[in-house]
Homo-oligomer: A and B are copies of this chain.
């Protein structure tokens, strides 16, 4: 039994390694062909540089340790779904685990119709009067107000994952835990959820897929005041923290980040696009139009990646990603956008898991939910972990173990409402922390999450245009 099992496992390991190698080589060759095939050097760099950079790219691609967007994209052919890091891997490549049969039985008509290379990419028809269109709609539809309480905007949390099962089958279990976690936070805070599993625009596969999706949702839902994008590999770890909406009343885009790192250092991790708020207005549409052009996959994304790596501090060599593009956009066009962008670091709108997960016990010891910051982070984001992909930047065991801890850390705040808790942050099992009572309504949950005030305000609704 045991040898068989280990044999099987080793066998799959080798097999997967071989598959990776094959795909990588194939991509290398293809990319070279494309570049060679091009007359001239395109608007960035020369073919000679290209080739060197590509070599360097594959040499450095497995060496890095710092948090960053990784390189599966180029190797798997792009995920879609728009779920950010943890999705990309799930989108492409073949799937030779237990799931092989559904991919066999699955009819998927051939390739998308190729876009015209002569037409520059756009997210859609230009819209320049969105603020008028929207305020007009809002005044005609008082039963769909964009504010559901004083300083409580109507928010749509948008996340998603690839349409296919994960390359690594256990990944889907973590996507499931991740959405359960978001369902809990959003139920408590009166936020609606849109979970995307469709690739709306093949050009924008992978971490760029969120752009066409976000534009579509803003234009379809004028009643939404703020759209909250959240990667599928980010989890809520403070269920009690309500965003400081008042603070953002004069801003259109809120991301976790630091002004100096973005505007002065042009550091590619000066902000994070794994969890951000975008207001539904004309400014947002204009920003998306400015943000998108580096996204189209293939040569454009490849070449743009070189510019970003050259211009941004600390960026490894790989194709253009949405986060680097945003840093570049803000650093080079601060006058145009800066005054409406709030880089938040007063709490963890995004929190890098590496510096948080080992401190959960300490937090439980010393603090309580509702703080949102280093004492009790609102979000723990598993940047660089690819539970759904074939490989990330960190050992999969560490990632999975820590994702379970983060989930349980957040889940304990939900369970305590009902008188339960996980036996430990490492345990899926739960135990009672209170005895049942015959007067359940006299029982108050410590965090007041059962009937929170910020949820009650849902009944007073107003239009603020």
| CB contact between A170 and one of B169, B418, B440, B441 (< 8 Å): that residue | B169
Minimal beta-carbon separation of A114 from chain B (angstroms): 14
Query: A14 to chain B: which residues have CB within 8 Å?
Result: 4
B195 contacts A426, C-beta separation under 8 Å: no
Known: A4-B11, A143-B458. 18 other contacts (CB 8 A): A7-B8, A8-B11, A11-B11, A97-B98, A98-B170, A101-B396, A101-B400, A106-B401, A141-B451, A143-B459, A166-B173, A177-B197, A180-B197, A187-B192, A198-B430, A199-B430, A217-B418, A223-B451
Partner among B107, B125, B145, B197 whose Cβ is within 8 Å of the Cβ of A424: B107
Nearest chain B CB to A158 CB, angstrom units: 11
Q: How many residues of A contact B (CB 8 A)?
A: 100
Contact A102 B456 (CB under 8 A): no
- Chain A, 13-29, CB within 8 A of any chain B CB: 14-15, 18
The answer to whether B165 and A108 touch across the interface, beta carbons within 8 angstroms, is: no
CA distance A281 to B278 in the complex (A): 42
A109 close to B169 (CB less than 8 A): no
Q: Which residues of A contact B (CB under 8 A)?
A: 1, 4-5, 7-9, 11-12, 14-15, 18, 96-102, 105-109, 112, 124-127, 133-134, 136-137, 141-145, 161, 163-166, 168-170, 172-173, 175-177, 179-180, 183-184, 187, 192-195, 197-200, 216-217, 219-223, 396-397, 400-401, 404, 411, 415, 417-418, 420, 423-424, 426-430, 436-441, 450-451, 456-459, 461
- List 15 interface pairs A-B (beta carbons < 8 Å), by A numbering: A4-B15, A8-B12, A11-B11, A102-B170, A102-B397, A106-B427, A106-B428, A107-B427, A108-B428, A124-B436, A125-B438, A169-B169, A199-B429, A200-B420, A217-B418
Contact between B401 and A105, CB atoms less than 8 A apart: yes
Task: Find chain B residues with CB under 8 A from A426 CB.
Answer: 106-107
Q: A441 touches which one: B133, B143, B411 (CB < 8 A)?
A: B133
Complex: A277 Cα to B424 Cα, angstroms: 34
For the complex formed, measure the closest distance between the CB of A200 and the CB atoms of chain B, giving whole angstroms. 7
